[in-house]
Structure 1
Amino acid sequence: MAATTSSVWQKWRGRLAGDRGDASVQMAIVFPFVIVLTIAVVQASMWYYARQIALAAARDGATAGRTYQAGTSDAAARARQVLDRTAGDSLRGATVSTAGSTGERVRVQVHGTAPSLLPFISGLSVTQSASGPVERFTTPGG
């Protein structure tokens, strides 16, 4: 019985000695993927946030441009105010355009770039637009 116990103990000792450093190797393989995944999630969140800022500016601009006797310059000015107040570094190089607006419909488009965490990506493009009918008086049946 003593011989059996000592041989079982030697088997376990041999297995344990063979697994030394195994966790370190596993971490060295897995850890870069975890870091890349974390950075990708943060990057996607930054891009989504930049889109929301651009959309809010475009909506506010379109709302301002829709009011009675307002023009496309009012729409662009309001969108620019929203960007100046909220964008900060989250939406870089933001431009406002009212191209495509008519006398009956106003359209505001905001374009910019979301910042990048990765050196090989220069920045993700963001474009959002909003439009709506211009308020005006009409005659009944016309």
Structure 2
Amino acid sequence: MRSRPQAHRLKAKLRRRLGGDRGVGSVEFAVLAVVVLALGFTIIQTGLYFHAKSVAQSAARQGVEAGRRYNAGAGDGVAQAQTYLARFGDSVRGASVSSGGSTAETVRITVRGHVATLVPGLSLSVAEHADGPVERVTAP
């Protein structure tokens, strides 16, 4: 069995040969920073996506409410949805509004657009629709 001073010298010699653990903290920080940044960007991008989806859905609902009024047409609904997007739709890029699928009894407004992204080359899009019956006056 080795004596205590001999074991201590052997450990010190081995530590010098292996270089010790100097600089390990920097490497750990660099690896951890990449993971934390990726997680942060993912959380922010998810929030941007759901916000754009909510704005598109609200614009479609506003359009349906305008289009189902008495003597209003689907064009009125499209105009109202576009007005809503002009006011609140900065998060929906290149938005298009259509009344495809509308009939004499129902109004259907569809809003499509792209989501603002943090990652270059990433393309996310939203497509939301709302529909409702057209109001009619009937005789008793």
TM-score by shorter chain over 0.5: yes
Alpha-carbon deviation of 1:105? Answer: 0.4
Q: Which runs of structure 2 are paired with 1:61-140 in the superposition (5 Å)? A: 61-88=63-90, 90-121=91-122, 123-139=123-139
Gaps of 5+ in 1: none
| Paired amino acid for 1:86 | F
Q: Distance in 1 between matches of 2:5 and 2:62?
A: 80
| Paired amino acid for 1:112 | G
> Is 54-63 or 19-28 further displaced after alignment?
19-28
Q: 1:9 to 1:130 in 2, by over 3 A?
A: farther
Q: What does the per-residue CA deviation read over 1:87-117, in whole Å, with 9 as the maximum and x for residues that have no partner?
A: 12x1111010001001100000000000111
2:38 to 32, 36, 39: 36
Aligned partner of residue 70 in structure 2, secondary structure: coil
RMSD after superposition = 2.3
Alpha-carbon deviation of 1:10? Answer: 8.6
Q: Distance in 2 between matches of 1:11 and 1:65?
A: 82
Q: Distance in 2 between matches of 1:38 and 1:10?
A: 46
Matched pairs, number: 135
Q: Distance in 1 between matches of 2:120 and 2:86?
A: 26
Q: Distance in 2 between matches of 1:74 and 1:23?
A: 63
Q: 1:4 to 1:109 in 2, by over 3 A?
A: same
| Paired amino acid for 1:100 | G
> Is 78-87 or 38-47 further displaced after alignment?
38-47
Q: So what's the TM-score if we normalise by structure 2?
A: 0.84
| Paired amino acid for 1:34 | V
1:23 to 4, 22, 25: 25
> Is 104-113 or 35-44 further displaced after alignment?
35-44
Alpha-carbon deviation of 1:36? Answer: 1.3
Q: So what's the TM-score if we normalise by structure 1?
A: 0.83
> Is 71-80 or 18-27 further displaced after alignment?
18-27
Give the share of equivalent positions with the same residue, in percent.
42
